[in-house]
Amino acid sequence: MIRRAVRATALEILGRLRPFSRETTVRFLYGHSMSVEERATFRATLGMLRNHFEFVSVPHAVELVRTRPASGRYLCFSFDDGFRDNHDVIAPTLADAGATACFFVAANLVAGSDEVRRSILRDRLHTSPDRPTMTVPMLRELSRAGFTIGCHTRDHVDLAAISVDEATEQVLGSQADVAAAIGAPCAYFAWPYGRRANLPEAVLRAVAPHFTAVFSAIRSDSVFSYDGMAINRDHFEPGWPTAHVRYFAARPLPLTAGMHEDGA
């Protein structure tokens, strides 16, 4: 309790003080969820970030990170899993701020049976089985409104805990499910739990050719991991105090450094 309070105070102070570099960068921030009550905080955070970055879509950010622009500071958002608030609260708040996002959804959390959905919420996401999730029409609506919809396996599984064949089926199956749901190709994938321990390289090699880009949840000093096959993202939540997000967003991540080094 005390440690947490000390950390929060430290982040508050450091977050206000940490200078933003002017270096060319492309930042990938990802989160999961927010409540209606957190809207004002997220608006303030978006206002702060806008002073330091140009907001871009995930597809645009992927292009930028690969072509390495000579100048500019870019930032994109993504949100994992498929909770209802992504559609109801996050998307409209982003749209109001002139920002967009990619939503990486576990296909069966959105399109699966009620029983499967409840077990994913309880057993994989360790949250209430009654927690509202997005529906297929909501995904389609977001896609038509210009948001990107990516996949996050069918059942939010740890891809290291099953066979390579099963893991490949979980990933490519979710890609097909999401494409069918939105009536458009699904070209982006983020793996559940997001660490190296959750993605055997053999699985990444099998699925990567089917996507424009694959995303981790590895916070690191380099843009890429897995020898350039995955793009790293930094965690934040829309309800975090603005100074805390500022602290992480101001962390230097030059595009030219460690392009192909593993971060974690």
**Residues at the interface with Zn ion (CB under 5 A):** 80-81, 192
Query: Which amino acid, 157?
Result: V
Q: Determine the Cα–Cα distance for residues 149 and 249; give it in Å rounded to an integer.
A: 24
Q: Min. distance of Cβ 163 from Zn ion in angstroms?
A: 21
* DSSP class per residue in 44-104: HHHHHHHTT-EE--HHHHHHHHHH--SS-EEEEEEEEE-BHHIIIIIHHHHHHTT--EEEE
Q: How many residues does the chain have?
A: 264
Q: Min. distance of Cβ 15 from Zn ion in angstroms?
A: 26
Q: Determine the Cα–Cα distance for residues 136 and 142; give it in Å rounded to an integer.
A: 10
Give the nearer residue to Zn ion in terms of CB position, either 111 or 255.
111
Give the nearer residue to Zn ion in terms of CB position, either 15 or 194.
194
Query: Which amino acid, 141?
Result: E
Give the nearer residue to Zn ion in terms of CB position, either 11 or 34.
34
Instruction: Tell me which residue has its CB nearest to Zn ion.
Output: 80
Give the nearer residue to Zn ion in terms of CB position, either 192 or 238.
192
Q: Min. distance of Cβ 192 from Zn ion in angstroms?
A: 5
Give the nearer residue to Zn ion in terms of CB position, either 80 or 85.
80
Q: Determine the Cα–Cα distance for residues 257 and 93; give it in Å rounded to an integer.
A: 33
Q: Min. distance of Cβ 105 from Zn ion in angstroms?
A: 9
- For residues 199 and 175, the answer to whether their CB atoms sit within 8 Å is no
Give the nearer residue to Zn ion in terms of CB position, either 31 or 192.
192
Surface-to-core class of residue 212, CB atoms within 10 Å of its CB (0-12 exposed, 13-18 middle, 19+ buried): middle
- For residues 226 and 189, the answer to whether their CB atoms sit within 8 Å is no
- For residues 116 and 102, the answer to whether their CB atoms sit within 8 Å is no
Give the nearer residue to Zn ion in terms of CB position, either 80 or 234.
80
Q: Min. distance of Cβ 156 from Zn ion in angstroms?
A: 6
Q: Min. distance of Cβ 219 from Zn ion in angstroms?
A: 15
From 233, 219, 237, 245, select the one nearest 47 (Cα to Cα): 245
Q: Min. distance of Cβ 176 from Zn ion in angstroms?
A: 19
- For residues 101 and 76, the answer to whether their CB atoms sit within 8 Å is yes
